[in-house]
Structure 1
Amino acid sequence: MKLATLKDGSRDGQLVVVSRDLKQAHYATDIAGKLQTVLDDWNFYAPQLQDLYDALNAGRARHPFAFAPRDCMAPLPRAYQWADGSAYVNHVELVRKARGAEMPAEFWTDPLMYQGGSDDFVGPQDDIVCASEAFGIDFEAEVAVITGDVRMGATPEQAGDAIRLVMLANDVSLRNLIPAELGKGFGFFQSKPATAFSPVAVTPDELGEAWRERKVHLPMTVHWNSKKVGQPDCGTDMVFDFGQLIAHICKTRNVRAGSIVGSGTISNVDRKKGYCCIAEKRMLETIDEGKPVTEFMKFGDAVKIEMFDAQGHSVFGAIDQLVAAA
């Protein structure tokens, strides 16, 4: 099934079920008003939402209405946890190669991960608001999952069983703030502003054969100012699957329902697939030409992130954002 959260003036919005073709929606008020409520008792609420989803797709829902992504918040507007990994080690390797740094062997066996702000996500068509272009504004197209409860010490297989929903993310980075922050030895903070997510989150079964090995085997399409700059396959070159990423968190603590875990920037070894963040393009320029040429985003720039199934249908709807001055 496909779920979304509509803006209603509150912090957590209103949960709706969205048709498979993303054309219609139906309020889930009679079942649950908020997505977090559903995640807290998935086995009770999910079957009821599935029945409503089936009725909506069959034309039997009582009060459908036109679905408009512009009215959406993030599917889970605020979360108990937002942990973002770096599952595409090719991306990490390029970054280190561009600055002449060795690639530690353990990066291939132990995933990188940071914990981002989860109290203020933004909707799929909300602006990327930034105080200055000098901060180095960059998009990062990712896949993310929302979990149920996962106990400390869970295996990747057990962690994978707790994946409830899948969605897309634009994990915006302020690249020119990162070096000073990492130089302090304490990780990202100001360099990671509010993350945006796709209009809808979908259950893994909606992906059919594209969901296997706890990965999404579909291309990620990225347009920057209407120009397609990337279409890498999300299943290719993903060194750590979502079960492994969640299990990484669970090494020392429980993961609670409503946690969001990101894949990190999608990146393929095949350069013809393009890029999902400007930093990777700049790294390749540095490696090939000795210095970066492509500039970061400016006020008024647009980024569109979307995923299509084998039949060419949008799966999650598009993240479609403009960069705006604070």
Structure 2
Amino acid sequence: MTHDNGGPRWGVLGTGGIAHSFLEGLRASSSSRATAVGSRTLARAEEFADAWNVPGRHGSYEELAHSPDVDVVYIATPHPWHHEAALLCLKAGKHVLVEKPMAMNALQVSQMVEAARDNDRFLMEAMWTRYLPLYRRVRELVADGALGEVRWISAEFGFNAPYDPEHRLFNADLGGGALLDLGVYPLALASHFLGELTVVGATRELSPDRMVDVQTTVLLRGQDGGTASVSCASRRTLPNRAVLAGSKGWVEMPMFWAGTEAVLHRDGHEPEPLHEPFRANGYEFEADEVARCLAAGERQSPDMPWAESLRLAGLMDQVRDVGGLVYSAPTVKAVPLG
């Protein structure tokens, strides 16, 4: 994990479950290595570092941000802290990969982008799905016209989690709710294949304490007239698949946000199974992309540029406005994307 392979030296900010998943993927990346971890306490940083054989251990985010042994920081905190942590690291001269959703709203994302630009640093939302081999394969098929013009998308992501008002999924102070945590995946899929999206309507079901959404469904219209229906849920299991349909066929992607299998249906042809495996757990591919961008001197990934993160944040702002979802100040305001 920590051998010097000439690639970027990663610092991990936050030690929750998603940080462990990222390190599992990073271990399969030949282009990177983890050199430091930062947590709110030194004890938690040391526990995490021991588990992954990471040499640098810091008992504060500030120490990690200013470590001379770190080139790029992966921000793995709950989303209400993404904005503050990203600004800290960018101003300290670090490149940043920040877990999705990039921030709580479009205003925060715009400030993160401005900081990256002002400090000439790389910044990317960790939309790992975009870098999976299966996703790239489907994107190539669409670009080659295998489906014709994509005009309809359906995507759902939902599971039945036990209700606990203190858990991050259900706690508004931790950025809880199905929309921010799960809905970002189907929204990102629709945005990628239909372009600029308009929210036509949204419905939601609230948690028992009426603080966050436990299910949200959104109807969207694409820039060229295509439509999408996307749903997310934290208190019931959904079909958990995406379907892209065009004038010449359709493709079905089970577990689309983390999938290795799909089926292509072309009009007049037998179904064609697609199989694109991971090397580890899938997170390795976004780590590879960060390393590629840094080696090339790029400050954005062409597959997940700043403008796309701004669009997604703006979309979720619109959905919350339409669906009547409210978060604690200062996380409420939506802003024009300009």
User: Structure 1 length normalisation: TM-score?
Assistant: 0.24
User: Structure 2 length normalisation: TM-score?
Assistant: 0.23
Structure with the bigger percentage of helix: 2
